[in-house]
Amino acid sequence: MTRVIAILNQKGGVGKTTTTVNLAAALAEMGNRILVIDLDPQTHLGLHFGVEDAATSVYDLLIDDEVPITDARIKARKNIDLVTSEVDLAAAESELAAKTDRHDLLSKKLAPVLGEYDFVIIDCPPSLGLLTINALAAAEELIVPMQTHFLALQGVSRLFETVSLLVGGLNPKLRVTGVVLCMHERNTKLAREVVDDLQGFFDASRDQDVPWKNCVILDPPIRRNVKLAEAPSFGQTIFDYEPECAGAKDYKKLAESVVECAAQNTKPVEEPEPQPLGNE
């Protein structure tokens, strides 16, 4: 069964595209067949894979009813197909506004090829507009990358409220699988407090009928690592660029955690105990 996962945070710069690329690469190295879709007009996903602009992009896929996804996907790596974005995608929301099926365009285009993949991973734009709604309508799982900052925690809470509204009407199957802690510095007091607050929020939701009732903090946190920041400029995943670095090890373990988590996410992974430092 194909798992369709949207990677979303409405705040930019939290590691969303880095997580999409390297999670996909790690899952592919485990032998899974992956389709990655870039719904972000910034087009960073294709750059991260070292892929030039494709003849057919996700913009064409959404705008033109006659374009099938088989015309838009290209080979990015072994076991990874990619549907790229383009800057014109920024105008797609206004162009699609008149379509009666504007919320389901992506899910309809995906349907014919779902059986070819183990995972479809959708990189969402840092907003909650029509493109993101298309991703959430097509997905059954949501993974939220975030940094352990107080404002980021508030943003995640608002994001979950939006997901709850969507689940109530557009996509009743959508569930929040987990949160990925990116650029994580576990030894700081702030990081520990935010993780504790986040865990408390999830624990309080276990008995509620909400899409995040089984959500977990996915293990491991992705440590701050300069190699992760360098890899995109070479058009490489972290496994191409520096496969033995801390970032590669973290994303490999993260992929294992994602595989272990069923769609309903009934197997939580414990957050490791932080190691105290002399100075915080």
The full DSSP string for 99-151 is -TTTTSHHHHHHGGGGGG-SEEEEE--SS-SHHHHHHHHH-SEEEEEE-S-HH
Cβ neighbours of residue 186 under 8 Å, at least 6 residues apart?
Answer: 192, 195, 221, 223, 272, 274, 275
Distances 87 to 44, 64, 69, 95, 182 between C-alpha atoms, Å: 10, 16, 19, 14, 26
Strand residue runs (E) in the chain:
3-7, 34-38, 73-77, 80-83, 119-123, 141-146, 175-181, 216-217
Long-range CB contacts (< 8 A, 24+ apart) of 65-74? 68/109, 68/112, 69/109, 69/110, 69/112, 69/113, 70/112, 70/113, 73/35, 73/113
- Mean pLDDT score across all residues of the chain: 87
Sign of CA dihedral 92, 93, 95, 100: positive
Residue 140 confidence (pLDDT) above 90: yes
The one-letter code for the residue type at 215 is: C
The one-letter code for the residue type at 51 is: V
- Residue 49: DSSP 8-state: H
The string of pLDDT tens digits covering residues 256-280 is 999 998 644 444 434 444 444 333 3
Domains of the chain: 3-260 (3.40.50.300)
The string of pLDDT tens digits covering residues 63-120 is 999 999 999 999 999 999 999 998 888 888 888 888 888 889 999 999 999 999 999 9
| Residue recorded with tokens 């779902």 | 114
Using an 8 Å Cβ cutoff, are 154 and 244 in contact? no
The predicted pLDDT at position 275 comes to 42
Report how far residue 215's alpha carbon sits from residue 56's, in angstroms, rounded to the nearest whole number. 36
Give the pLDDT mean for 173-178.
92
